[in-house]
């Protein structure tokens, strides 16, 4: 096996373990054993568990769309923004996000673990990835406030309320209510309702 393939194998093995056991609950010995290599081989490619974890998060965010999906790469959202189609912006953003959460549950679990364990990777992920969402959606909200379509509310509050609905919904489906006994609806319906709720709350009231 080539060096690149071996590195990828170790990364994938670490990802599987981190997403099920967390960072603190996984040792380099565990990773080596599951990957079928020596611990020395793990350290040959990654000098520490922290470096391995950082490489894994970087690979997942950059190569698999987590850094791109909410904004410029989402053609439906960009088209809606240009047309100032408020429902389209929030609906397509929510739908893409919910689909992405559902498609890569293991990555979501790993990020949750890192946040609960106070790992620096969680903070780095939040500041870069989530911070970009606040800037992206917040910028659009400011534009619509200038157009006197949205009420004068701190855009960050609006973004947080919107993300809160989506993240809570995904957390229920991923962690707490896997059988969806409390609420079982398709992502399209959830995205539609979340968009309508947020827009009804921020719209300027006539009269």
Within this chain, do residues 80 and 177 fall inside the same structural domain, yes or no?
Answer: yes
% of the chain at pLDDT higher than 70 = 91
Most confident of the following: 10-19, 34-43, 56-65, 144-153: 144-153
For residues 133 and 71, membership in a common domain is answered with: yes
For residue 101, give the CATH number of its domain: 1.10.357.10
At 203, is the pLDDT very low, low, confident or very high (cuts 50, 70, 90)? Answer: very high
CB atoms within 10 A of CB 63: 10
Lowest mean pLDDT, pick from 125-129, 181-185, 187-191, 197-201: 125-129
Q: Which pTM value belongs to this model?
A: 0.76
- The answer on 41 and 83 residing in a single domain is no
Length of the chain: 207
Q: What is the CATH number of the domain that holds 51?
A: 1.10.10.60
> What's the pLDDT at 183?
93
In a domain, 92, yes or no: yes
**Structural contact between residues 162 and 194, judged by C-beta atoms closer than 8 angstroms:** yes
* Pure H helices in the chain: 3-21, 28-35, 39-45, 49-63, 75-82, 86-103, 105-116, 120-125, 131-146, 155-171, 187-202
- Residue 159's domain comprises 64-202
CA–CA gap between residue 126 and residue 77 (Å, rounded): 22
> Is there a single domain that holds both residue 31 and residue 74?
no
Is pLDDT of 57 > 80? no
Which of 60, 76, 92 is where one domain is finished? 60
At residue 69, the pLDDT reads 44
pLDDT at 5: 86
Tokens of 70: 């909410």
Q: Is the pLDDT of residue 194 over 60?
A: yes
Q: Can you give the pLDDT at residue 169?
A: 94
Using alpha carbons, list the distances in angstroms from residue 31 to 42, 83, 108, 164, 194.
8, 49, 20, 34, 40
Mean pLDDT of the chain: 86
Which one of 11, 36, 60 terminates a domain? 60
- The answer to whether the CB of 107 falls within 8 A of the CB of 11 is no
Together in a domain, 74 and 41: no
pLDDT tens by residue, 112-156: 877 887 777 777 777 777 888 899 999 999 999 999 999 999 999
164 or 118, which is more confident? 164
Phi, psi of 68 (to 5 degrees): -105, -30
Choosing from 60, 78, 102, the residue where a domain stops is 60
37 and 116 belong to one structural domain: no
Is residue 83 one of the residues assigned to a domain?
Answer: yes
- pLDDT for res 94: 94
72 in the same domain as 50: no
Q: Are residue 44 and residue 94 in the same domain, yes or no?
A: no
- Asked whether residue 207 is assigned to any structural domain, the reply reads no
Give the tokens for residue 181.
Answer: 């006994």
Backbone dihedral region for residue 36 (phi beyond 0: left; psi -120 to 50: alpha; all else: beta)? left
Among the listed residues 105, 96, 95, the one whose alpha carbon sits nearest the alpha carbon of residue 174: 105
- Same-domain pairing of 20 and 116: no
Do 137 and 196 fall into the same domain?
A: yes
| pLDDT for res 119 | 73
Based on the domain organization, do 108 and 174 belong to the same domain? Answer: yes
129 lies in the same domain as 91: yes
Q: Which pair of tokens denotes residue 76?
A: 């439906």
Kindly tell me if the per-residue pLDDT of 60 is higher than 60: yes
142: in domain: yes
Give the total number of structural domains in the chain.
Answer: 2
Q: 113 versus 202: which is more confidently predicted?
A: 202
For every residue of 32-77, DSSP letters joined together read HHHHTS-HHHHHHH-SSHHHHHHHHHHHHHHHSSTTTTTTTT-HHH
């Amino acid at each position: 096996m080539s060096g690149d393939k071996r590195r990828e194998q170790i990364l994938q093995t670490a990802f599987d373990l981190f997403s099920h056991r967390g960072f603190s609950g996984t040792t380099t010995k565990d990773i080596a054993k599951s990957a079928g290599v020596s611990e020395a081989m793990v350290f040959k490619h990654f000098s520490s568990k922290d470096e391995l974890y950082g490489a894994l998060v970087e690979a997942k965010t950059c190569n698999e769309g987590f850094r791109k999906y909410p904004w410029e790469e989402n053609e439906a959202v960009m088209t809606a923004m240009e047309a100032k189609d408020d429902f389209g912006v929030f609906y397509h953003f929510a739908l893409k996000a919910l689909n992405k959460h559902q498609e890569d549950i293991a990555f979501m679990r790993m990020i949750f673990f890192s946040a609960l364990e106070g790992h620096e990777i969680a903070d780095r992920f939040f500041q870069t990835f989530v911070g970009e969402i606040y800037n992206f959606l917040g910028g659009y909200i400011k534009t619509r406030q200038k157009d006197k379509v949205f009420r004068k509310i701190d855009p960050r509050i609006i973004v947080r309320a919107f993300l809160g609905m989506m993240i809570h919904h995904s957390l229920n489906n991923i962690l707490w209510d896997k059988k969806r006994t409390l609420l079982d609806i398709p992502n399209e319906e959830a995205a539609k309702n979340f968009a309508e709720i947020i827009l009804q709350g921020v719209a300027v009231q006539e009269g």
